[in-house]
Structure 1
Amino acid sequence: MTRDDPFHFDHARHWAATMLRPEHVADFQRLVKTLRHGSRFQLLFAEFTEADYRDTLIRLLDFVFADLDQPVARIDLSSQSFADFAALEVELRQLAADHSAIHLTGVDGWFDEGRWRDFNTRREAIAFGVPVRLVIWLSAETMARAIVLAPDLWAWRGGVYAFTTLPASPREIPQPQIAPIDPRTLAERCRRIAVLRETLSSGSPLDDEILGLLWDELADLLASIGELDEALRIYREEQLPIYERLENVRGQAVTLGRIADVLHERGELDEALWIYREKQLPAYELLGDMRELAVTQGKIADVLLARGALDEALRICRENVLPAFERLGDMRERAMTLGRIADVLLARGELDEALRIYREEQLPVYEHLGDVREQAVTLGKIANVLQARGQVDEALRIRQKEELPIYERLGDVRARAVTQGKIADVLQYRGELDEALRIRREEQLPVYERLRLARDLLVCRAKIGLNYLARGATGDREIALEFLRLALQDAQRLQLPEAQQIAGIIQQHTDTDDPGALS
């Protein structure tokens, strides 16, 4: 996977901006876009006050451009010896041969009056001989001198970016923004992450109740854009201790549920199920919270469905969860529960009823509530049914034109990868095996590996194996078996129903005298 396509580039630049002070996000994004899409030669002036923060900005820019075919160089005038501007120009010309951008640092102590005037005089030669985006990092004082000493050079500037870090004045503590429906875009989520990070790292005295809610919002936002490791760390190390200190039973139960949600997403079903059953359910029973009790039972049903325990999952949804939400009048959770029931029906092959529920019971509710993420999830399930019926063209249209754009707008990297995999399924069905294989190996596999999504990873590996078997080129069988065996190991470890199916495929395509057939 590379960030060469628009989604990965946008995700990288917005994620990088979460590490900055909120007031610098806009200028950082302007600078990134200029470096990516600007004309070949540009003079870009970046004002800063702290060298450490400047270096952080440069590292983040390096991160954004790491996988693009646009290498970036840096010349530090404070540590490299250039006798005069002519010597610097030689170095710039050499670096321009194989770099698209150059950071020029150490400017404040190196550029005297004569060197600025030389730069001003040589501007046309630089423009033609150094066709790169030249980012000049300097203080406000040095910038003021450059304007006076090199006015023609300054007139050629392609952009000015402010990253000054004056002593922070007291800021208003942000109010927690936690709601079951979050339509914020990737850019909005990342900007909010930057605000929360600054507040939580400022050392400002905060009431534990507010602190817990802010950590909760930050972790939820991180999880929503695929940063599961950091979200899990916050739940365990920051948020849970606060609620334990406050003896807040509800807060502890909610946080433990968040931990279980991440574990569930990663395929760690035993631990997730234990938390739901042994930690959350008793807490909500003690509190008499019928709504959260039903929500947790629904999540238990999800785990059972993933394990293939269809009858028990269906019983819980129909007998416990659905009646609870109908009594509470919670239309969103009722729709989600009906969706779980439809998932079981789909797994059983009852396609017509599953499709009716998705289209008539779920989708209209999410459209009414403005819940775009659940709309996308439901559209994907509708596409699953259509694909199972052989209506692959309509399934592909839904995935490419309706489902995928929503996940990209929200920055949901996992859901996007899953959807890309479904698109690959259709392409493989059509015989477009090379493109299907490319998607699985470049768009899906790296995401699941980075997020450590065990179940998604094993399913992806199994499908890569099947893709190689279908292609049948020289050496494909051996590669296929390698992927299938990795998938089998994880399926057996996680006690998933896919294990038996994968083992059968391996056996079918392995020589009977191969001692390592199922190892």
Structure 2
Amino acid sequence: MLTNDTKAENQRNYQKLIVAIEASQGILNLLIAVCNDSNLREDLIQQYETELKQQDFLTYRIGVRNQDPSLRYAVAQLIEAEPDLQQDNPAVITVLGIDKLLSVKLDAPKSEEDRFFGYLQWTREALRQFRFPIVLWLTEPMLVRLVEKAPDFWSWRGGVFWFKSESVPQELASANVSQHISNTVSEEAGRLPLEEILRLIEQIEAQEKEAPLLATLYESLAEAYQQRYDSPQERQLAIKAYQKAIALQTKLGLKADLASSLEKLGNLYFEFKNEVKLAHDFYEQALLIYQEIGDKQGEANTLKSIGDVLQFLDRRDEALQRYKTASLFYQEIGDRLGEANTLRAMGDVLQFLKRSDEALQAYETAWSFYRDTGSRLGEANTLIAIGDVLRFLDRRDEALQAYETALSFYHDTGSRLGEANTLKAIGDVLQFLNRRDEALQRYEIALSSYRQIGDRLGEANILQEFGKLQENPQQALEYLQQAQNLYIQIDSIYSQSRNLAYFIANLQLNMGDSEAAINSLTDAAKLASTINYAPIQKYAQTRIDEINSTHKPRRGLKERFMQFIQQPWVKKLFFVVMFVGGIVIALVGRR
């Protein structure tokens, strides 16, 4: 039975494949299409060949020889036989038959498959002479072996495009293979260089076309900015690109693409917690469209995202409701990974509500799902959450053990960010246990990792921890201010307000400067109000009221002197002194 969500996802990936082909003229671009369904594969190839021929593209199909399975040789033979390919005309070459190569040796030293991968690995440089896109069609198991046996060739890929069967439900074995692949390689959207996307957009707009391709390009442009932005300016460019994609998708009636862009724009707004209500609005719009077109996967993903927003806004009961609904959808479509992610989010809410036993149960179920699907990264993330619950229950040694296990998983999967986050969590436990030197050591390693991978938010968070650990108040304030400067640079308003309210203001108060503390709390409340984050607003106002009731704000020397001389008795004393002084001066003058 046809599933709308699978069909919609295939159409999105098809559009991205077309974009990659059209943008790759004059350069070598190795594009990998992954599909287990031979009928669907043939339909897709015919579709893009027909569409490209209408744009005067040359389209060719080749197969690799069983006796000597060299991709370079097969392409070179085609060019020699086709003079048009030698004239730099727009062209695309489709490579088929790779999945039919034998994986057993028979009477040869190496199997056909091993020889094919060997050629890919060792003749990669020779492919540079070909200046057009080459699309290799693979099955999922063959893709796994390609990644393992020809890593250098794999590193040259220009994009990976996934197409799932639209006619029959995926068998369990196929689902397990897909999950293994998703953990071995990232599902790429055929990312083109930013400059290529901009060039192609300019070319299409010059023709005054409002085609679906242009909408897809703007979505790809937004994703490209997201991948590289390290400033508020580039973030705004990503937002503008999504807005242009959404406008075109709305005008052209591209509902599936429109829902996807709305969801991604919501993710972008939610990322820094600056405009959470906007994120919520975009998620709700995406949800309505997913419901309209019957995309259960999109509906489940968006419900979980809405739950994340509600959790942040401290509307925990509503968040739990969305998570439970999303979990039911994930169960219905057989998405164990989505169900695991949602269970972990439910655990976060339950832990906040101090329902620790229920939180642990949700986390442990999520962990088993991650383990069943082979998601080592998911296992590691859930172990971190389990460690957090154990910390709350004052089971610090067990928490450290969970964190250390997670650290090894992150190391195995090559997740530098995961390693850095876990080192910070270990440092937090050691700090609580008053093992200050060990905590500082973990924080320093984490700080180095954050700086190497360019995660300035992580860097700022570690500087904040350094500030909390300093015995010298002035040094502590300097570290907290360094963190604040980074939060300002990356435009993280939530982190700015939190740092001011919970750390800088308290330190200033401990240093005896209640006026500075009140100023910091006031600034924190103002920042929190811009993102509609009530918890910090309430906390800041409560602390200001407490300070005003127990402390008199310190004033400057001039202000205190002016207040002193305004007192009535001081005025009288001043008058007497001046009167007596005048008499003395008069008497001295008579002499």
TM-score by length of 1: 0.51
Q: Does 1:257 align with 2:304?
A: yes
Whole-Å Cα distance in 1 between the matches of residues 347 and 382 of structure 2?
10
C-alpha distance in 1 between matches for 2:279 and 2:245: 17
Equivalent of 1:301 in 347, 357, 370: 347
Distance in 2 (alpha carbons) for counterparts of 1:446 and 1:175 = 26
User: What displacement does 1:299 show?
Assistant: 0.5
CA deviation string 1:296-353 (max 9, x = no partner): 12101112223333333223223x2222222333222122111111112223343343
Q: How does 1:370-389 map to 2 (within 5 A)?
A: 370-388=414-432, 389=435
Hey, what's the Cα distance between the residues in 2 that align with 1:293 and 1:473? Answer: 50
Match of 2:399 in 1: 354
What stretches of structure 1 of length at least 5 have no aligned partner?
A: 1-22, 24-161, 513-519
1:422 aligns with 2:465: yes
1:291 matches 2:331: no
Residue of structure 1 equivalent to 2:481: 438
Q: In the alignment, is the contact (CA less than 8 A) between 1:291 and 1:324 conserved in 2? A: yes
Note the aligned Cα RMSD (angstroms). 4.9
Give yes or no for contact 2:280–2:306 (8 Å, CA) kept in 1: yes
Q: CA deviation at 1:174?
A: 4.1
SS at the partner of 2:227? coil
1:48-197 correspondence to structure 2 within 5 Å: 166=206, 168-169=208-209, 171=213, 173-174=216-217, 184-186=227-229, 190=235, 195-197=241-243
Aligned to 1:234: 282
Q: Which residue of 2 aligns with 1:323?
A: 368
Alpha-carbon contact 1:232-1:259 (below 8 Å) kept:
yes
Matched-pair contact (CA < 8 Å) for 1:440–1:460: no
Question: Would you say the 8 A contact 1:301–1:317 is kept in 2?
Answer: yes
Q: Which residue does the alignment assign to 1:280?
A: 326
The unaligned stretches of length 5 or more in structure 2 are 1-22, 24-198, 552-591
Cα 1:176–1:483 shift into 2, 3 Å = closer
Q: 1:193 to 1:449 in 2, by over 3 A?
A: closer
The Cα of 1:443 is off from its aligned counterpart by: 5.1
* Equivalent position of 1:80 in the other structure: none
> Who is 1:471 aligned against?
511
Q: 1:477 to 1:334 in 2, by over 3 A?
A: closer
Q: Which residue of 2 aligns with 1:73?
A: none
1:365 pairs with one of 390, 400, 409: 409
Equivalent position amino acid for 1:201 in 2? A
The aligned amino acid for 1:271 is E
Contact 1:433 1:471 in 2 (8 A): no
Number of residue pairs matched by the alignment = 336
Identity fraction in percent: 21
Verify the 8 A CA contact 2:504 2:517 in the aligned structure 1: no
SS at match of 2:392: helix
Q: Which residue does the alignment assign to 2:267?
A: 220
In the TM superposition, what whole-angstrom CA distance separates every residue of 1:460-489 from its partner, at most 9, and x where no partner exists?
A: 5132332122211474576688799999x9
Contact 2:470 2:476 in 1 (8 A): yes
Deviation, structure 1 residue 241: 2.2
Q: CA deviation at 1:266?
A: 4.3
Q: Counterpart amino acid of 1:185?
A: R
1:286 Cα deviation after fit: 4.1
* Counterpart-to-counterpart distance in 1, 2:452 and 2:471: 22
Note the alpha carbon deviations across 1:38-62, whole angstroms, 9 max, x for none: xxxxxxxxxxxxxxxxxxxxxxxxx
1:469-514 CA-to-partner distances (Å, cap 9, x unmatched) read 2211474576688799999x9xx9769xx98xx98999799649xx
Query: Does the Cα contact within 8 Å between 2:497 and 2:524 map onto a contact in 1?
Result: no
CA deviation map 1:5-41 (0-9, x unaligned): xxxxxxxxxxxxxxxxxx9xxxxxxxxxxxxxxxxxx
C-alpha change, 1:192 and 1:232, in structure 2 (3 Å) is same
Residue type of the alignment partner of 1:346: R
- State the 1:206 CA deviation: 5.3
Radius of gyration: which is bigger?
A: 2
Correspondence for 2:380 among 335, 338, 362: 335
Q: CA deviation at 1:258?
A: 1.0
2:284 aligned partner, one-letter code = R
Partner AA of 1:330 in structure 2: S
Q: Per the alignment, do residues 459 and 473 of structure 1 end up closer, same or farther by CA in structure 2, a change over 3 Å counting?
A: closer
* Structure showing greater relative contact order (alpha-carbon pairs closer than 8 Å, 6 or more residues apart): 1
SS of equivalent residue, structure 2 residue 252 = coil
Q: Distance in 2 between matches of 1:441 and 1:187?
A: 17
Distance 2:544 2:430 in 1: 25
Code of the aligned partner of 1:245: E
Q: Is the 8 A contact 2:226 2:238 kept in 1?
A: no
Judged with a 3 Å threshold, the aligned counterparts in structure 2 of structure 1 residues 186 and 444 are, in CA distance, closer, same or farther, namely closer
